[in-house]
């Protein structure tokens, strides 16, 4: 018996109104609990692909399914449900944090999904505990360090108990301790992860599987270690390992 994947993308193509074709027939299947790095040069279509995962962009051609449900952007109830299942953590946490306190920021998503009272308090407390930020619940987000704000941004998504956690450049602007702390948190989560990143060592540390998107098509899909050992492949798609990094 085959299990329902967290994410199934079939023959997805998309062009922007100005005629720029961003995706050309993308096929991608991600199983529940997988951690997949989405790699590729700037302009490859990575952001466009992510924006299809929670219905920000409608599928013009092909289809996107989350936990067995095909996204239909004309169905508002379905779209609300999908956006609860696919949580996106932006590159800049300040795009995600706007409430007076950390606790209120984490409560925002589940509150808007209709959760109230003790159930809401529990969702907030559990999410903050998962990212080791419980003691900062009453703090204003702007009083936190950048790394702490990023962890709170992750908590705002986890509070909605998503099927898929999408992370956009999660290691950017973090110091070494912040990178390590976030990596330990992400490794502990029981959730499907899609990580968009140019940080190849971080992809190697956190994701067993990597996909390279280039020119709007998937050009490689396999074990992260195998992909990172393929120097001609990396060079062709403007991906580079740091000097001195060895697999």
pLDDT at 2: 67
pLDDT at 60: 87
In angstroms, the CA 75 to CA 143 distance is: 39
Q: How far apart are CA 208 and CA 112, in angstroms?
A: 34
The reported pLDDT for the residue numbered 163 is 94
Q: Where are the domains of the chain?
A: 7-236
Round to whole Å and give the CA distance between 195 and 187: 12
What is the residue-level pLDDT of the chain in tens, covering all 247 positions? 568 999 999 999 999 999 899 999 999 999 999 999 999 999 899 999 999 999 999 988 999 999 999 999 999 999 999 999 999 999 999 999 999 999 999 999 999 989 999 999 999 999 999 999 999 999 999 999 999 999 999 999 999 999 999 999 999 999 999 999 999 999 999 999 999 999 999 999 999 999 999 999 999 999 999 999 999 999 999 999 998 888 7
| 53/35 Cα distance (integer angstroms) | 15
Task: Report domain 7-236's class.
Answer: alpha beta
The per-residue pLDDT for 244 is: 82
- What string of DSSP letters covers the chain? -PPPPSEEEEEEEEE-TTS-EEEEEEEEEE-TT-EEEEE--TTSSHHHHHHHHTTSS--SEEEEEETTEEP-TT-HHHHHHHHHHEEEE-SSGGGT--SSSHHHHHHHHHHHTT--HHHHHHHHHHHHHHTT-GGGTTS-GGGS-HHHHHHHHHHHHHTT--SEEEEESTTTT--HHHHHHHHHHHHH--SEEEEE-S-HHHHHHH-SEEEEEETTEEEEEEEHHHHHH-HHHHHHTT--PPTT---
pTM: 0.93
How many Cβ atoms sit within 10 Å of the Cβ of residue 229?
12
**CA atoms of 39 and 200, how far apart (whole Å):** 8
């Amino acid at each position: 018996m085959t299990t329902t994947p967290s994410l199934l993308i079939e023959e997805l193509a998309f062009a922007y109104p100005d005629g720029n074709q961003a995706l050309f027939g993308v096929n991608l299947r991600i199983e529940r609990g997988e951690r997949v790095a989405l790699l590729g040069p700037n302009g490859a279509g990575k952001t466009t692909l992510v924006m299809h995962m929670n219905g920000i962009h409608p599928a013009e051609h092909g289809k996107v399914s989350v936990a067995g449900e095909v996204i239909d952007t004309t169905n508002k109830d379905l779209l609300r449900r999908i956006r609860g299942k696919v949580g996106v953590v932006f590159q800049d946490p300040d795009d995600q944090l706007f409430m007076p306190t950390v606790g209120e920021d984490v409560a925002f998503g589940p509150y808007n999904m209709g959760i109230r009272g003790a159930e809401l308090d529990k969702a907030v407390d559990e999410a903050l505990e998962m990212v080791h930020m419980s003691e900062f619940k009453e703090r204003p987000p702007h009083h936190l360090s950048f790394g702490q704000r990023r962890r709170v941004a992750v908590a705002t998504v986890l509070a909605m108990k998503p099927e898929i956690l999408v992370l956009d450049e999660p290691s950017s602007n973090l110091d070494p301790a912040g990178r390590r702390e976030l990596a330990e948190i992400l490794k502990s989560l029981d959730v499907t992860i899609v990580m968009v990143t140019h940080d190849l060592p971080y992809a190697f540390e956190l994701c067993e599987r990597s996909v390279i998107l280039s020119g709007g098509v998937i050009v490689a899909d396999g074990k992260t270690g195998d992909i990172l050992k393929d120097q001609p492949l990396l060079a062709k798609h403007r991906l580079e390992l740091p000097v001195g990094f060895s697999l």
